[in-house]
Amino acid sequence: MLISQAIAQTVAQTGVLAAEAPAPWEAFALNMLLILTLVVMFYVLLIMPQQKRFKRHREMIDQLKKGDEIVTSGGFLGKIDKIKDGDDEVVIDLGNNVKVTALRSAIQNKAKAG
């Protein structure tokens, strides 16, 4: 028995016709709705949190002052010795009179007290 014959026999037995295919514009609208939903979810779940983290990091960097204990993205712990005005660099005292110059963007966060 062929599949089409089996389907015809099932329809004849149940008396229920298969649902008609949606109109082309309905299928297009459903596909566009799905794509729009995915774009919104992508924006809300990935882009917005990243923008918030970037904003908090920028605010933290702008509020740095001499004497703040920091952690660099390279893992160095130190205190800010000097902030160069008009420049994107800071001088970090790593201890034992070791001082390095780093970009502000290399500062990951402020060190936790204790």
C-alpha to C-alpha distances, 52 to 45, 56, 75, 103, 105, nearest whole angstrom: 12, 6, 23, 21, 16
pLDDT tens by residue, the chain, 114 residues: 566 776 666 666 665 555 666 788 888 999 999 999 999 999 999 999 999 999 999 999 999 999 999 999 999 999 999 998 778 899 999 999 999 999 999 999 998 765
- Which of these, 107, 102, 91, 113, lies nearest to 57 by C-alpha position? 107
| pLDDT, position 85 | 79
CATH code of the domain occupying 66-114: 2.30.30.140
Structural tokens at position 54: 């970037």
| pLDDT, position 86 | 78
Predicted TM-score (pTM) of this structure: 0.66
CA angle 79, 80, 83 (to 5 degrees): 175
- Which of these, 94, 96, 62, lies nearest to 81 by C-alpha position? 94
